[in-house]
Structure 1
Amino acid sequence: MATTLAKPALLHTPSDLDETGRAKLSDSLNILVSDFFALYIKTKNYHWHMSGRHFRDYHLLLDEQADQIFAVIDPTAERVRKLGYPTVHSVGEIGRKQRVKDNDDIYEDPKDMLVDLMNENRTLAKNMRATHEIADDINDVATASLLEVYIDEAERRAWFLFEATRDVN
């Protein structure tokens, strides 16, 4: 993946944060923006293609979770701009950067969908913690603060998905 170390002068935003650290953090945030977009689409895909006896509950749960994921995209991309770097430009760039695995299957078992999203949210939380470490390294408390909230939200989504997959007698 290309680094954002070379940035257009017109996008420069002055900052007292370390320049090299800002570049590294911006790269990591752009990958997260791509992951957020990909997870949003995957969650909506499963929302649209949910079936079975728990259809309504799962359909509503996934719609709520997709809305929550979509809501973090803009603030994260704007954080990249505040750091003085460009953010993702296209669906193609998102596709090249995303770590969330696409699922183009025509049919997926509802429980498998929930387990897949649970695992993707856990991985997302882990990846956000790694980006948080980069923010900590350059004392970027604003980015760290955003990520702390988003990590909690991802862990909550994973928890809800886990509970929805448990067999209760």
Structure 2
Amino acid sequence: MTTGDNAKAAVAEALNGILADSFALYLKTKNFHWHVSGPHFRDYHLMFDEHAAQIFATIDVIAERVRKNGHRTLTSIGDITRRQSIADNDAAKVGAADMLDELRSDNLMLVAKLRETKELAAEAGDNATDGLMDDWTDQAEERAWFLLAIAQKD
């Protein structure tokens, strides 16, 4: 097990990346919530809002884990932009099926980052962060599952 300042710094850096991606995914999910249209409008509109609320609920906890580990967290939209790996979607028109696919892919990307961070937290002996990664991984996997199930053709 690796302990010390370098291990904690690696966890904080990874958490800041997850935080940036969480902000990006939250805003993209709200964007799609606001702009979805078509025959399944109501279902998608409500689901996107539920997903956004779930993502938003993690944001403060992520930042507080960084601070509890003695490091600084994100400070601005620019800081988010520099650290995010989830791409923005500024398209004027996105079809509902494309929204579902894109959000599923983004949630799976977040799952991968959560798993990597769990490993770093375990190496650093950061049990609290390690445990949180399990909960957030489960939430992101569930969102991806819902998005896949809804996109399936009968």
TM-score range, shorter chain: over 0.9
The structure with the greater share of residues assigned to helix is 2
Q: Aligned match of 1:93 in 70, 75, 79?
A: 79
Aligned-CA RMSD value: 0.7
Shift of 1:38: 0.3
* Structure-2 residue corresponding to 1:61: 47
Q: Among the aligned pairs, what percent are the same residue?
A: 47
Counterpart AA for 2:11: L
Give the AA of the match of 2:60. D
**Match of 2:124?**
138
State the structure with bigger RCO (CA 8 A, min sep 6), 1 or 2: 2
Q: Which consecutive aligned stretches of 4+ in structure 1 deviate over 4 angstroms post-superposition?
A: none
- Aligned residue identity for 2:143: R
- Bigger CA radius of gyration: 1
Deviations 1:49-92 (A, max 9, x none): 00000000000000000000000000010000000000000000
Question: TM-score, structure 1 length as denominator?
Answer: 0.89
**Number of matched pairs:** 152
Q: Which residue of 2 aligns with 1:32?
A: 18
TM superposition shift of 1:164: 0.7
Alignment of 1:20-169 (within 5 A): 20-168=6-154
- 1:54 is aligned with what amino acid? H
Question: Structure 2: any 5+ residue segments left out of the alignment?
Answer: none
Provide the TM-score with structure 2 as the length reference.
0.97
- Report the AA paired with residue 60 of structure 1: L
